[in-house]
Amino acid sequence: MANEVRFDTRKEVDFAIIGSGSAGGILAKELSTAGFSIVVLEQGPYRKAQDFTHDELSVVLRMELHGGTNEVHGQTFRDDERKVAKRPFLSPVRYARTVGGSSVHFTANFWRFRPVDFKERSLLGPISGTNFADWPISYEELEPYYTKVDWEIGVSGAPGPFDAPRSKPFPMPPMPIKSSGVLLERGAAKLGLHAQPEPHAILSQPHNGRAGCMSCGYCMWYGCETGAKSSTLAAMIPLAEASGNCEIRPLSVVTRIDTNDSGRANQVVYLDAEGNEQAQKAKAVILSANGAESARLLLMSANMRHPDGLANSSGFVGRNLMHNAHSLVNGVFEHPLNDYKGVQVSRIIHDFYESDEKRGFYGGGGIDARPLFSATPILHALEGLPPDTPRWGAQFKDTMAHDFTRQMSIVASTTSLPLDRNNITLDPESKDAWGRPAIRETYRDHPDDLATAAFLEDRCAELADAAGATKAWRYGIHPTTGGEHLLGTCRMGEDPATSVVDSKHRSHDVPNLYICDGSSFVTSGRGQPTMTIMALAFRAADHIKAAASASEI
């Protein structure tokens, strides 16, 4: 890299950014290309496109991109604050630890929020026992940044009947329809619903010097070996590094943010690749570590001045965790779909996006069709078979041989309500492999969230039937015990008593600490949060640039 730059930890950089994912990667690019000096501290290694494989055993089972199983991370879970949290085999909160963060391994379904998502509290009224609230910003305010994501990150798609207004068309046509999309369209047409092309953070054709998707099929959980998936690794980090103002510092495990006597953040303490403690001095700190890690780090950064954790005078750090609930119906069809090829999703249904009081509960969601468990063989053997199929023997083998190419899943993703009881805290006992207090998740779905998932499961079952499935089965509605969508734990708002950051992502308590990632969300949306995380990051960057230029940080 011609412009490779390395900063001395003892010299103040303009910004230390914690996390290189969907938000951190964008902030790094925006601020470094504007001339600010940046160090990005990323806990994972610096994998590049050529490092990604199709190795299901390593990626899916051994959780390579997650940095290993929960033996490494020590996370704990409970469904009630009165219980002692236990350490499950599968980490409750899951994200990629690698440069580019979870934008590297996500499935790249990429919905904008709609205007209603930002003001549902006003439109629908309060929901007792919840922290249901309006966002301090509107769709209209965020729209230019959604468009910036479309064009700079690279989004493929086509307008649908319920889409929010957009100021510019999609930069690329949608990914071509797959058999699962054809079948979903068929089912939708019979039921009077509207299937539309899925927008993707995947290039359907070359864009910004990057190659288009070759439809290898390894999107979900895998890193993209051609860079067609619009991760910040592919789309932003190279531009940040080329600016000559940005150092990406991988294998840097942050342990705390220090503040000085005047209450300002002044350095970020971390363990380097050798496990030695380092401290990067910075004029300002941007925390973009994700909705679980950002909350953990703020809580770990408690000091005399901030006894309950940094930026936590409201007590809202870690609270209002939202995962989005899901439901799932699998179907087998007469002819091969070979849906393991190509992107996961090619058609979605948004007829049930908005909450409808006639249903008797709050919530809404989207439906898609995708291979899911028939994307790869081990996953299929573990999870994809009909419930009445024996788990071993000739019929087991023959069912796999028949079903693998003939199955698809119809999947609903839904709202989650923000609740005090759903939160990230520090486990009092468990530690991660670096000795940090482990993430403790406490979560129990609001009844409306499960009711929405059940309502949509019924719709998925109808769709499977209408699409012509020869056999279909439900996976059932179960309490959420973790997830990948890590939202709401440092929510934005104008009232410092009920939010952690203001509408420009500046923390209410620490003037030179910004927090921008999924934790900023006030409500959960309908299940595809990354587009909104990225739009928020572009918007935050503009506000941070303006404040820094005016010497107001």
Q: Which of residues 100-119 bind another protein (CB under 8 A)?
A: 106-107
Q: Which of 130, 208, 313, 481 binds another protein (CB under 8 A)?
A: 481
Site string (64-103) toward another protein, x via CB under 8 A? -----xxx-----------------xx---x---------
Site string (204-243) toward another protein, x via CB under 8 A? ----------xxxx--xx----------------------
Would you say 400 or 547 has its CB closer to another protein? Answer: 400
Closest to 58 (Cα-Cα) out of 277, 276, 257, 223: 223
Reduced to 3 states (helix: H, G, I; strand: E, B; else coil), residue 451 is: helix
Closest to 408 (Cα-Cα) out of 473, 457, 459, 360: 473
In whole angstroms, the minimum distance from the beta carbon of 327 to another protein comes to: 8
Nearest 10 degrees: Cα torsion 414, 423, 90, 47: 90
Give 77's strand partners. 86, 441
| Per-residue b or e along 16-48, where b marks 16 or more CB atoms closer than 10 Å to that residue's CB | bbbbbbbbbbbbbbbbbbbebbbbbbbbbebbb
In whole angstroms, the minimum distance from the beta carbon of 314 to another protein comes to: 26
In whole angstroms, the minimum distance from the beta carbon of 52 to another protein comes to: 11
Q: Taking CB under 8 A as the rule, does residue 431 contact another protein? A: no
Q: What is the DSSP letter of 434?
A: T
In whole angstroms, the minimum distance from the beta carbon of 353 to another protein comes to: 18
Task: Tell me the Cα Rg of the chain.
Answer: 22
Q: Taking CB under 8 A as the rule, does residue 466 contact another protein? A: no
Q: Taking CB under 8 A as the rule, does residue 166 contact another protein? A: no
Candidate ranges 19-27, 39-47, 256-264, 332-340; the one touching another protein (CB under 8 A): 332-340
359: left (phi over 0), alpha (psi -120 to 50) or beta: alpha
In whole angstroms, the minimum distance from the beta carbon of 150 to another protein comes to: 16
Output the 3-class SS for 228-242.
CECCHHHHCHHHHHH
Candidate ranges 34-42, 130-138, 359-367, 398-406; the one touching another protein (CB under 8 A): 398-406
Would you say 152 or 185 has its CB closer to another protein? Answer: 185
Identify whether the C-beta of residue 326 lies closer than 8 Å to the C-beta of residue 520: no
Residues 410 to 429: which contact another protein by CB under 8 A?
411, 413
DSSP 168-202: S--SBPPPPP-HHHHHHHHHHHHHT--EEEPPBSB
Reduced to 3 states (helix: H, G, I; strand: E, B; else coil), residue 26 is: helix
Q: Taking CB under 8 A as the rule, does residue 338 contact another protein? A: yes
In whole angstroms, the minimum distance from the beta carbon of 257 to another protein comes to: 28
Determine the Cα–Cα distance for residues 266 and 150; give it in Å rounded to an integer. Answer: 35
Residues 23 to 42: which contact another protein by CB under 8 A?
none
Residues 486 to 545: which contact another protein by CB under 8 A?
none
In whole angstroms, the minimum distance from the beta carbon of 162 to another protein comes to: 18
Would you say 103 or 278 has its CB closer to another protein? Answer: 103
Number of residues that bind another protein (CB under 8 A): 83
Q: Taking CB under 8 A as the rule, does residue 337 contact another protein? A: yes
Q: Which of 397, 447, 494, 546 binds another protein (CB under 8 A)?
A: 397
Candidate ranges 259-267, 305-313, 400-408, 498-506; the one touching another protein (CB under 8 A): 400-408
Determine the Cα–Cα distance for residues 444 and 448; give it in Å rounded to an integer. Answer: 11
Q: Taking CB under 8 A as the rule, does residue 182 contact another protein? A: yes
Would you say 168 or 478 has its CB closer to another protein? Answer: 478
Candidate ranges 1-9, 173-181, 299-307, 541-549; the one touching another protein (CB under 8 A): 173-181
Nearest 10 degrees: Cα torsion 480, 379, 251, 316: -10
- Which amino acid belongs to residue 250? P
Hey, how many other C-beta atoms are within 10 angstroms of the C-beta on 332?
Answer: 21
